[in-house]
A = this chain, B = another copy of it.
Amino acid sequence: MRTETLRARLLEAQLDLARRRERAVILLLTGHAVTHKGRLVNELNHWLDNRHTEVHALGPSSEERERPYWWRFWRRLPDRGRIGIFIHGWYGDALFARAERRLPPGAFRDRLAEIRAFEAELAAEGVVVLKLWMDIDRPAQRRHLQALQEDPARAWQLSATDWQRHLQHAAIAALGREMRDATAADHAPWRRLDFRDPAAQLQRVGALLHETLAAPPVAPSGVPEGVPGEVAAAPSIRRAEPRVEASLKKASYAARLAEAQGRLAINAREVARRRIPVVLAFEGLDAAGKGGGIHRVTAALDARQYRIHRIAAPSDEELALPWAWRFWRRLPADGRIAIFDRSWYGRVLVERVEGLAPEAAWRRAYAEIREFERQLLAHGTVLGKLFLAISQEEQLRRFEARAASPHKRHKLTDEDWRNRKRWDDYRQAIDEMFARTQAPGAEWALIACDDKRRARLAVLQEVNRRLEMRLASPH
């Protein structure tokens, strides 16, 4: 399959998973060191809609060490509709502890039995597990280690354990075979991936994940709900597209995008090193391009560092607590980045305009939001608030283009058309929001989005500016 076709099918299968919310999928990568698991996960995550994925690669916290071993994995299980990507996951511990002889053979076999039981339970509950063993032969591993070590720009990627695991290559290979034999199952199959050039590797993982997503023949999907029928949109597309094309030359855009993303990658790494937490809140009118903006940001980030929180209607557990609780619970740990696709500002936007919150509640929210953001800043969090604005004419053009395009149609709902009718109400709510929630360190960045390319560059610039302001200060 051509790469472009594969990407399109994979994304389609993922969105289908998210829409149905019947199953969750876990992709777990383990195996030898220096097999570029991190890079692979990052690239794969760019292929996917990362609003529905989460990546787990961290060691246990003190709260986790104080609970039974499996608690750390149970609490990280993806909800139905989501994809959880685990680097090493529940295999790394056992594998490396056994290779270093910290774990006796009997305990190793017991752990494998636990893994079998855990994966069987997941399978029975609709969580599909795909496991990748990342393979590399010893000479190749040595060559890559040396190349890394000698490259000043990449030497930081080497961890203390990489050389140790190189010396244990034979043991890890043998244990890996034992592990795979003991835990292979139809519902949680192993695939071996020989180390090869990154593009081919990614293509192979993408194909395996697509196969997993598509595998159990699910009931055929109808037309997504809530889409108005036929909209004669072709002329509008014609009208819209050339205008955007002309806005910023493609080559110039690509160069500036790459430059901004490169800067962001460096800033984000520095933020992780200095353990600075980052919160980015994206608000904006429908079709202004929040998704595209967020995507250009995350394209520059390590998938292990960030998480996207899509804010929709609260769950029943959230309804039993003060409204701000659902934002507090999602705050990132130090050094990590939380991206809110819509945010606590819903309280003074959609909840106000649609009458979902009483007037007293949303009026009160301005002060509550200021205090919430002050708390974040007091902890040393970098806060970026981006509002993506669009003209009424451009919004109509994009709605019509969406309605006419088969693989964008799912992005358009009846609600979008309804919101559009309340344009003036939203306008007023937005103006008041700006006026009442500007504060030092918590300023709004207003991004004009009629021109998509300039908008995306502006989003990246704003995020970079925020991070660099913080990184320039000594503590």
A69, B320: Cβ atoms under 8 Å?
A: no
From B127, B315, B323, B375, A69 is in contact (CB under 8 Å) with B375
A29 at the interface (CB under 8 A from B): no
Inter-chain CA distance A328–B118, complex, in Å, is 13
Q: Mark A353-365, 1 if CB is under 8 A from B, else 0.
A: 0000000110010
A317, B320: Cβ atoms under 8 Å?
A: no
Task: Give chain A interface residues in 167-219, CB to chain B under 8 Å.
Answer: none
A375, B68: Cβ atoms under 8 Å?
A: yes
Residues in A lying within 8 Å of B, measured CB to CB: 21, 24, 61-63, 66-71, 74-75, 77, 79-81, 114, 117-118, 121-122, 124-127, 275, 277, 315-317, 320-325, 328-329, 331-334, 360-361, 364, 367-368, 371, 374-376, 378-379, 381
Inter-chain CA distance A114–B370, complex, in Å, is 11
B124, A364: Cβ atoms under 8 Å?
A: yes
| Least Cβ–Cβ distance between A344 and chain B, in angstroms | 12
B63, A63: Cβ atoms under 8 Å?
A: yes
B367, A71: Cβ atoms under 8 Å?
A: no
Q: What are 10 A-B pairs with beta-carbon distances under 8 A?
A: A63-B333, A66-B275, A66-B277, A67-B331, A68-B378, A74-B324, A117-B367, A121-B324, A124-B361, A317-B317
Q: Assuming A75-B329, A80-B321, A317-B317, what are 20 further A-B pairs, CB within 8 angstroms?
A: A61-B61, A61-B62, A62-B63, A63-B63, A66-B334, A67-B334, A68-B331, A69-B375, A70-B375, A74-B328, A74-B329, A75-B328, A81-B320, A114-B374, A114-B375, A117-B367, A121-B364, A121-B368, A124-B361, A124-B364
Which B residue sits closest to A376, measured CB to CB?
Answer: B68
B322, A125: Cβ atoms under 8 Å?
A: yes
| Least Cβ–Cβ distance between A208 and chain B, in angstroms | 23
Inter-chain CA distance A419–B339, complex, in Å, is 48
| Least Cβ–Cβ distance between A67 and chain B, in angstroms | 5
> Contacts A66-B334, A69-B375, A114-B375: A80 and B317 contacting too (C-beta < 8 A)?
no
Which B residue sits closest to A78, measured CB to CB?
Answer: B321
Which B residue sits closest to A111, measured CB to CB?
Answer: B378
From B126, B321, B364, A79 is in contact (CB under 8 Å) with B321
From B74, B125, B371, A121 is in contact (CB under 8 Å) with B371
| Least Cβ–Cβ distance between A432 and chain B, in angstroms | 19
Inter-chain CA distance A405–B92, complex, in Å, is 59
Which B residue sits closest to A371, measured CB to CB?
Answer: B117
From B118, B325, B332, B379, A74 is in contact (CB under 8 Å) with B325
Which B residue sits closest to A81, measured CB to CB?
Answer: B320
